[in-house]
Amino acid sequence: MNYIGSKHKLSSFIFETVTETCGKDLSQKVFCDLFAGTGIVGRNFRPHVKQVIANDVEYYSYVLNRNYIGNYFEFEYQNLLDELNALKGNKGFIFENYSEAGKAGRNYFTSENGQKIDAVRLQIEHWKKSKTISEDQYFFLLASLLESADKVANTASVYGAYLKHIKNSAAKPLIIKAAKIQKNLFSDGLANQENRVFQKDANQQIKEIEGDILYLDPPYNARQYGANYHLLNTIAKYDTFVPKGKTGLRDYYKSDWCKTGEVLKSFEELIENAQFKYIFLSYNNEGLMSQEQVQSVMERFGKYSLKTKKYQRFKADKTENRNHKASETFEYLHILEKSP
C-alpha cells in the first residue's frame, strides 16, 4: 500500500541499525511497532524475534496488522477468495457514497468496483456472523479487501480527494488478492510466536506493555491519518454514518502527534513511560519536532545516538516539483539506550 510515511524503502536501514545496536541475535527479543501503519516494519522483524507487538490508533491499520502480524495461516483461504471474486455486485453504501454512479457522485471508485466492494464486504460479514469463518480468516479477508480496493482507488495518493476522471489503474476490475505473509512460518518455527496486536493511542498503549526493542514511527506533520485514509476505515468498519461534504469524510481521530502545541509533551511522556531498553524513533527533518528537540528529550533518559539517511519521501501532492531542493528529506533514526 502506498502509505504516507511508509518505511517500506527504509526497511534495511532500520533493520541494520537495530542489529548494530542490539546485537545480531534478536531471537529472544520482544519487538514493538507502536505506530504500525501498514505493518511493514513488524513484518520485517517478525521472522527474527521472539514476539512482535503491533499497535496503531486507526482501525484499518489494526486490520492489516491483525492479519500480517497476528495470523499464522493455518487455514485455507483460496476457496474463500474464489467465492468473493465470483460475487455479483451490490448497490450498497460504498457504491452510493463513494463511486462514480452513486447518488453522491464521489469518484473514488468506478461504479462496478464500488458495487463489488459492497458485495464482498457484506459477504465477509455474513460469513463472520454465521460462524463460517474464524476470527483469523475474518481479518485476513478484510486485509485482502483493503489492499485490493486501495489498488483500484481513483485518487492521486490519499483519500483526502478523488480524481475528476477515472485513471487507468482505477478502471481495472477489482480482484481480491490474498494479503498474506510470503514466508513459510512453520518451517521457520514461528508458529509458536505469540504476537499481539492493538488499536489504541500510543501514549495509552505504552503503559500496558513491556519488551526489549521499541520502534516509534509517529506522524511527522499536521496531516491526520484518519482524514487521509477515511475510506479505508469506512470499508473496514462498514458502519452506518452520514458522509460529510465533497469528499465524504467520516469523524476521525485527531492525534496529538499531529499538533504543534502537543507533540513534544506526548513524546516526552511516551519516552518516560516506555518499559523498553532500546528505543528507536524514525522522524525526518521536516517534522514538527526538530532533531535537537528530540535529542534533548532522549538524552535525559539514557545514552543517545543518531543515524541519518537521505531519502526521497513519498509525495501526496503530485504537482510539487520533485527536483526542487525542498523535496530532499533527511530521515533520522534516533536511538536511545534507556537507563534502568
Ligand X SMILES: C[S@@+](CC[C@H](N)C(=O)[O-])C[C@H]1O[C@@H](n2cnc3c(N)ncnc32)[C@H](O)[C@@H]1O
Residues that bind ligand X in the complex, under the rule CB under 6 A: 3, 5-7, 35, 37-38, 40-41, 56-58, 61, 201-202, 217-219, 225, 255, 257
CB of 36 to ligand X, least distance (A): 6
Q: Are 144 and 178 in contact (CB under 8 A)?
A: yes
Least Å from the CB of residue 103 to ligand X: 30
Q: Which is nearer to ligand X, 8 or 167 (CB)?
A: 8
CB 250 within 8 A of CB 235: no
Structural contact between residues 273 and 209, judged by C-beta atoms closer than 8 angstroms:
no
Minimum CB separation from ligand X for residue 31, in Å? 13
In whole angstroms, the minimum distance from the beta carbon of 230 to ligand X comes to 12
Q: Which is nearer to ligand X, 37 or 114 (CB)?
A: 37
Q: What residue type is 300 in one-letter code?
A: R
Q: Whose Cβ is closer to ligand X: residue 9's or residue 300's?
A: 9
Indicate the residue among 7 and 230 with the shorter CB distance to ligand X.
Answer: 7
| Look-up of cell digits 513534544 | 264
Residue corresponding to grid cell 531498553 = 277
CA gap 49, 42 in Å, rounded: 10
Sign of the Cα pseudo-torsion (120, 126, 128, 131, in order): negative
Cβ-based nearer residue to ligand X, 5 or 243: 5
Q: What is the DSSP string of 190-230?
A: GGG---EEE-S-HHHHGGG--EEEEEE----SS--HHHHTH
Print burial letters for 209-231: b (CB count within 10 Å at least 16), e (below 16).
Answer: bebbbbbbbbbbeeebbbbbbbb
Q: Specify the residue, 14 or 22, whose C-beta has the smaller distance to ligand X.
A: 14
Report the alpha-carbon distance of residue 84 to residue 125 in Å, rounded.
12
